[in-house]
Chain A
């Protein structure tokens, strides 16, 4: 699963927001904020880690989560790429339809 798919889930977005607000949180601290069972939260955390949205470091028995800037930066970049493409395409479309409009207006005179 990739970052887009990982963040398409409400609970996972809430987890990421919580981590962003606190900088770093242990899996236990994250779980305490949700009604869901800790194993279910662990599963979500695994998805977020695999998608490069969160980083995980181990400290003795604790698993500490923080934001993975790289994964999110990549995501922003993909979106920008697609946006740039369509932005240019719409520019061309705009020029083309304006040209047609002019031609047709003149043709009717």
Chain B
């Protein structure tokens, strides 16, 4: 597909993604901040998105449903913790509205201007296997063969 310049760093229980987008920082920030924009790109292929409510401000909630290609609905609720336009969006998942299980999964997105483009850094901190599995379930089975990312010695070197 497109030139994928995604860099991934794994340390402890945190995964960091870095990617360059060839658009100004204001535009990249803008598409995270409104329902019309999010509906265009948030869902994986085959998914559609319905926003129940979106309050894009500190402490505000984004309550939405993703409709999977298999007819399943996946409820989501996100709370914005810290928004600093146009440089930072930090949010946590506060449940899927379907269980009383505590969700403990946080994301922090940092936007940095570089020339005419923007470097996006996203940090995800998760606390449990169950959490990751739930995230995966939200999007149905993720297709594609899994390549082995190398032997353990290297892996442990990376997570130092």
Contact = CB atoms under 8 A, between A and B. Distances in A.
A13 B17 CA distance: 23
The residue in B12, B22, B41, B147 that gathers the most chain A C-beta atoms within 10 A of its C-beta is B41
Interface string A6-18: 0110000100110
A69 B152 contact: yes
B52 interface: no
B92 to A, nearest CB: 16
A51 B29 CA distance: 39
B136 A78 contact: yes
B155 A8 contact: no
B55 interface: no
B155 A76 contact: yes
B156 A13 contact: yes
Contact of B128 (A5, A13, A69, A95): A5
Interface in A82-109: 82-98, 100-101, 104
Considering the complex of A and B, which 4 residue pairs feature the smallest CB-CB distances, nearest first?
A2-B129, A92-B41, A96-B41, A78-B132
Given A79-B149, A84-B144, 11 more contacts: A7-B12, A13-B156, A20-B156, A83-B15, A85-B139, A87-B6, A90-B17, A92-B40, A92-B45, A93-B41, A100-B27
